[in-house]
Structure 1
Amino acid sequence: MTSNDVSSGTWLNLGYKLFSEEGHEGLQIERLARILGKNKSGFYHFFGDKDTFLERLMELHLEREEALAPKFIVLEKIDSQFIRLMVENKEAILFQTQLVKNRDLKLFQETYHHTNQVIEGVVQSVWVKYLGVSEEVSMKYWRLIRDTFYARVTSKTFNQEWLLDFIEEAKSILSEAQNNSASS
């Protein structure tokens, strides 16, 4: 890694953290420079402008999601190990949440859709097993649960207890719907 990569990486890592917590509104160049104790000219040297910086942030997010995917593939069920992986990767998951909240911007929407393809590919088999329903029903339900998750989760609520409660609520709603459907 060159010194330029290290320096641009410093800007990107801070930008990733702030985007995860606050969305793109938290990414003022002057603020980034102040937090890093660097001059704004360094930002412009590495990225040229904020649009390029955002593009690089989206690339970083895709890289992190693709690196995370194999860790989920090996899981056989949604259990404490799944919850632990979620909590350990809170920043990446909250980054994805910010993409949802700001999906009116094309770059964010494209990144959101791309990462969802990666995520669905790894979650599908474990989700089908967990719910005990067909793949088609499982993935439709996954998308509803995913969107509900992104609407509800915050950096303050994102912890093991909240995740366990959320997953149990989701499973109980599906069970209730299946029971109502069977009795009709």
Structure 2
Amino acid sequence: MEKLRNLSLWTEEGYHLFAREGLEGLQIERLARILQLNKSGFYHYFGDLEGYCMELTKLHHQKVKIFLEDARQLKTLDPDYLLLLIEHTTTVMFQVQLTRTKDRYSFYNTSELVDLKVNAAVQQLWNDFLGHRHNADLAIRYYYIVRDMFYTRVSFQNFTYAFLHDLVTDAKVLIDQITERRLQSTDKFSL
């Protein structure tokens, strides 16, 4: 029982540190100091940092599963989905850090798998948010752009409803302008 508790302590704390600081935050001595555990326990449970990172990605998949279960209940992108993102800030920020650290295969693979699952869950909310004026393929491509912009701009400090609302509202305005211009240029050629 003690072994499982200690294992959970190591992974939960590492999960939070990685979400906040990325791979640089995963320093074994620092983790041991924070947890007030012997660092030899780290090596006993995980072998090395690579083994530890694999455990963190497994934990991430578990947390994403919970996030997706919550997402299935949502009716709107704004405010429902945005508030869900805030409710799951650490999980979202862990995903952001995975995306920013794609040079490690296990991080890249986990990031891609999670993005696929989240994309599928949010696609209809995104289409509804845009107002059904776009075909689904084009709408999801716009979503990818906005998601990637979110990944580059977000931090724990600015992860607020106002930030998320402004991001998606600005994106919607821009997408509407692009769509309107495309329609106008199409109309000119059809005359």
In the alignment, which residue of structure 1 is the partner of 2:181? Answer: 180
**1:79 partner SS:** helix
How far apart in 2 are the matches of 1:41 and 1:104? Answer: 28
Task: Letter of the 1:66 partner, please give it.
Answer: K
Following superposition, the deviation at residue 97 of structure 1 comes to 0.8
In the alignment, which residue of structure 2 is the partner of 1:136? Answer: 137
Task: Letter of the 2:92 partner, please give it.
Answer: I
Q: Which runs of 5+ in 2 are unaligned?
A: 186-191
CA RMSD in angstroms comes to: 1.0
In the alignment, which residue of structure 2 is the partner of 1:151? Answer: 152
How far apart in 2 are the matches of 1:82 and 1:44? Answer: 39
TM-score, normalised to structure 1, is 0.96
TM-score, normalised to structure 2, is 0.92
**1:172 partner SS:** helix
**2:67 partner SS:** helix
In the alignment, which residue of structure 1 is the partner of 2:25? Answer: 26
In the alignment, which residue of structure 2 is the partner of 1:167? Answer: 168
Work out whether 1:68 is the aligned partner of 2:88: no
Q: Deviations over 1:131-170 (max 9, x none)?
A: 1222111111111111111011111111111111111011
How far apart in 1 are the matches of 2:67 and 2:16? Answer: 17
Q: Which runs of 5+ in 1 are unaligned?
A: none
* Preserved contact between residue 11 and residue 32 of structure 1 (Cα < 8 Å): yes
How far apart in 1 are the matches of 2:83 and 2:23? Answer: 27
In the alignment, which residue of structure 2 is the partner of 1:82? Answer: 81
In the alignment, which residue of structure 1 is the partner of 2:189? Answer: none
In the alignment, which residue of structure 2 is the partner of 1:9? Answer: 8
How far apart in 2 are the matches of 1:57 and 1:109? Answer: 13
**1:183 partner SS:** helix
How far apart in 2 are the matches of 1:93 and 1:159? Answer: 12
**1:158 partner SS:** coil
How far apart in 1 are the matches of 2:2 and 2:113? Answer: 30
How far apart in 2 are the matches of 1:76 and 1:136? Answer: 21
- Moved beyond 2 Å, runs of 4+: none
Work out the number of aligned pairs and report it.
183
How far apart in 2 are the matches of 1:81 and 1:15? Answer: 29
Task: Letter of the 1:59 partner, please give it.
Answer: K
How far apart in 1 are the matches of 2:135 and 2:75? Answer: 17
In the alignment, which residue of structure 1 is the partner of 2:55? Answer: 56
Q: Deviations over 1:95-139 (max 9, x none)?
A: 111111111111110010010111012111111111122211111
* Preserved contact between residue 70 and residue 122 of structure 1 (Cα < 8 Å): no
